[in-house]
Amino acid sequence: MDLPRHVPLANPLLACPGAVLMSPLSGRGEVEQLRAELTRAQQNLHAAQLKIQALTLELAHHKRLRFGQKSEALAQGQGDLFAETALIDQAAIEAELERVANQINPPTRRPPRVRAGRQPLPDHLPRIEHRHVPASCQCGLCGKDLVNIGEDITEQLDVEPARFFVHRHIRPQYACKACETITAAPVPPALIQGGMAATGLLVWVLISKFLDHLPLYRLVQIAARQEVPLALSTLAEWVGQAGVALQPLADRLAALQRLRPVLHADETPVQPLAPGRGKTQRAYLWAYRSNDLEGDPPIVLFDYPVSRAGRHAAHFLQGWQGHLLVDDYAGYKVLFQNSGIIELGCMAHARRKFFDLAQANGSPIARRALRHIARLYRIEAQTVDWSIAERQAFRARYAQPRLRLYHAWLVKTRLTVPDGSGTAKAIDYTLRRWPALSRYAATGHLPIDNNPAENVIRPIALGKKNWL
């Protein structure tokens, strides 16, 4: 039945005994409390999401290092964002390259393309000829004499494993009966005077240890297979004595390297056995390499201090001034404070952070950053064999505008990325290092990355496995 319009509805709270009425003020307090709890929950969720993202990125990075390809090249299936723009840039660069090349050298007829196949064996290798003639010089069908109409020559590559032999130095003794003296030819000079190791054996030991990264105990085993007994302590002594003998050469190379205006530097940890302790200790091997873009022969020097402290680099480079290309390790920072050394950043190092993001979660922002960097490297690839002046002009025309576009995109994109995320960290790293990363483009002799130093450090990883 319908209620009359003038009869008010009863309040159900008033009809319930013991009901507690809340004032508007107390209700507002609960709402504020709930809002605060919601805000804290959202903050905790955001922090957890960032932590998961960071751990996912780290896990993907370690999986790639352990199970995936070591190359950081982008896969074909990843899609070329802004491919049309990239093709336009490529066409413009190639047109400019052709124009400049025609000014330098008139166009010549392009040599025929050499198809891939078996490469001829090097001419400098000695040839040992083996002539194979038929068992009979008469035709097997009619019996008439055969006539030589040419030769069919095939070549096989062979190797002679390490072969030990002994040099016998015989010095006849001559006596003068009148003077009662004995005369003989002088003892041939040797790297280790009075030792049994000839120069060739010492070279084999040093190359095997420092270039092929073979431990000395494996050299002992190799010699033992040919019944040549060599003690591990003897080999270690030879290495030390050879190092002392070669120190003047190392000093000369260091003096020549200090004349170079641009150097690369990198370091890697090693774990040698601690003498008398029976366990390993952490040490660092530092590499200093000259710049390839200056056209001079490369000079690579290694330093082996006990730690990664920045004072070691400062001591090694004491008195040197120029551009030093390094990663973002804090130990190098002291070098750039009023010492005449100018910092250069590694674009490959900055690229690696975006590459890891793209591999971990397919980040479109990371992929776009990789495309920006790829255009910079494409410009560098065009000028590999150019002079410094030609490279500087080309960079000013193409690399510097590209860098400005890339920087503007980084700044704009950073505003849309949440703090603490992997993408934010990659962008922040690049922006923080921007002066050092972009400094190369204003010149024609500064390199874009630290790959030359990393390439001389990378083979040491093989040694770390062999030294176990």
Please tell me whether residues 327 and 468 are part of one structural domain. Answer: yes
Domain membership flag for residue 112:
no
Top mean-pLDDT range of 75-79, 184-188, 333-337, 343-347: 343-347
Q: Quick one: angle between helices 422-432 and 400-414, nearest 10? A: 140
Q: Domain end: 226, 246, 266, which one? A: 246
Where is average pLDDT lowest: 41-55, 200-214, 324-338? 41-55
Please tell me whether residues 353 and 434 are part of one structural domain. Answer: yes
pTM: 0.71
Instruction: With beta carbons less than 8 A apart as the criterion, state whether 271 and 280 touch.
Output: yes
Please tell me whether residues 262 and 399 are part of one structural domain. Answer: no
Please tell me whether residues 241 and 388 are part of one structural domain. Answer: no
Q: Note the pLDDT tens digit of each residue in 23-32.
A: 555 567 777 8
Residue 280, beta-bridge partner list: 273
Burial class (CB in 10 A: 0-12, 13-18, 19+), 396: middle
- Give the pLDDT confidence score for residue 106 in this predicted structure: 44
Please tell me whether residues 351 and 327 are part of one structural domain. Answer: no
pLDDT, the chain, mean: 82
Domain membership flag for residue 183:
no
Burial class (CB in 10 A: 0-12, 13-18, 19+), 403: buried
What mean pLDDT is predicted for residues 424-444?
95
Placement of tokens 């591999």 in the chain = 359
* Whole-angstrom distance, CA of residue 458 vs CA of residue 432: 27
Task: Give how far the C-alpha of residue 313 lies from the chain's centroid of Cα atoms, to the nearest Å.
Answer: 19
Domain membership flag for residue 338:
no
Strands 181-183 and 174-176: antiparallel
Domain membership flag for residue 301:
yes
- Give the pLDDT confidence score for residue 161 in this predicted structure: 83
Q: Domain end: 246, 274, 294, which one? A: 246
Predicted confidence band at 40 (pLDDT cuts at 50, 70, 90)?
A: confident
- Give the pLDDT confidence score for residue 162 in this predicted structure: 83
H-helix or E-strand spanning residue 145: none
Domain membership flag for residue 141:
no
* Whole-angstrom distance, CA of residue 267 vs CA of residue 326: 10
Tell whether the model's pLDDT for residue 244 goes beyond 90: yes
What mean pLDDT is predicted for residues 344-364?
91
- Give the pLDDT confidence score for residue 254 in this predicted structure: 95
Tell whether the model's pLDDT for residue 78 goes beyond 50: no
Task: Give how far the C-alpha of residue 375 lies from the chain's centroid of Cα atoms, to the nearest Å.
Answer: 20
Domain membership flag for residue 200:
yes
Predicted confidence band at 83 (pLDDT cuts at 50, 70, 90)?
A: very low
Please tell me whether residues 440 and 313 are part of one structural domain. Answer: no
Domain membership flag for residue 55:
no
Domain membership flag for residue 424:
yes
Q: Note the pLDDT tens digit of each residue in 365-407.
A: 999 999 999 999 999 999 999 999 999 999 999 999 999 999 9
Placement of tokens 């002046």 in the chain = 389
Which is nearest to 442 in space by CA: 368, 369, 342?
342
What mean pLDDT is predicted for residues 334-353?
90
- Give the pLDDT confidence score for residue 290 in this predicted structure: 95
Percent of the chain with pLDDT over 90: 46
Which of 16 and 134 is assigned the larger pLDDT?
A: 134
Predicted confidence band at 456 (pLDDT cuts at 50, 70, 90)?
A: very high
Range of the domain at 287: 258-332+450-468
Q: Note the pLDDT tens digit of each residue in 163-180.
A: 899 999 999 999 998 888
Predicted confidence band at 465 (pLDDT cuts at 50, 70, 90)?
A: confident
Which is nearest to 204 in space by CA: 146, 256, 144, 161?
161
Tell whether the model's pLDDT for residue 115 goes beyond 80: no
Please tell me whether residues 284 and 356 are part of one structural domain. Answer: no
Q: Note the pLDDT tens digit of each residue in 294-305.
A: 889 999 999 988
- Give the pLDDT confidence score for residue 323 in this predicted structure: 96
Percent of the chain with pLDDT over 70: 78
Q: Torsion angle, CA of 439/404/432/411, rounded to 10 degrees?
A: 180
Please tell me whether residues 208 and 240 are part of one structural domain. Answer: yes
Please tell me whether residues 402 and 417 are part of one structural domain. Answer: yes
Which is nearest to 378 in space by CA: 99, 85, 90?
90
Please tell me whether residues 445 and 456 are part of one structural domain. Answer: no
Give how many domains the chain has, as a whole number.
3
Q: Note the pLDDT tens digit of each residue in 216-230.
A: 999 999 999 999 999
Please tell me whether residues 371 and 438 are part of one structural domain. Answer: yes
- Give the pLDDT confidence score for residue 371 in this predicted structure: 95
- Give the pLDDT confidence score for residue 26 in this predicted structure: 58
What mean pLDDT is predicted for residues 64-77?
56
- Give the pLDDT confidence score for residue 1 in this predicted structure: 45
* Whole-angstrom distance, CA of residue 288 vs CA of residue 410: 32
* Whole-angstrom distance, CA of residue 74 vs CA of residue 241: 48
For every residue of 284-308, DSSP letters joined together read EEEEEEE-GGG-SPP-EEEE--SS-
* Whole-angstrom distance, CA of residue 83 vs CA of residue 139: 68
Please tell me whether residues 375 and 427 are part of one structural domain. Answer: yes
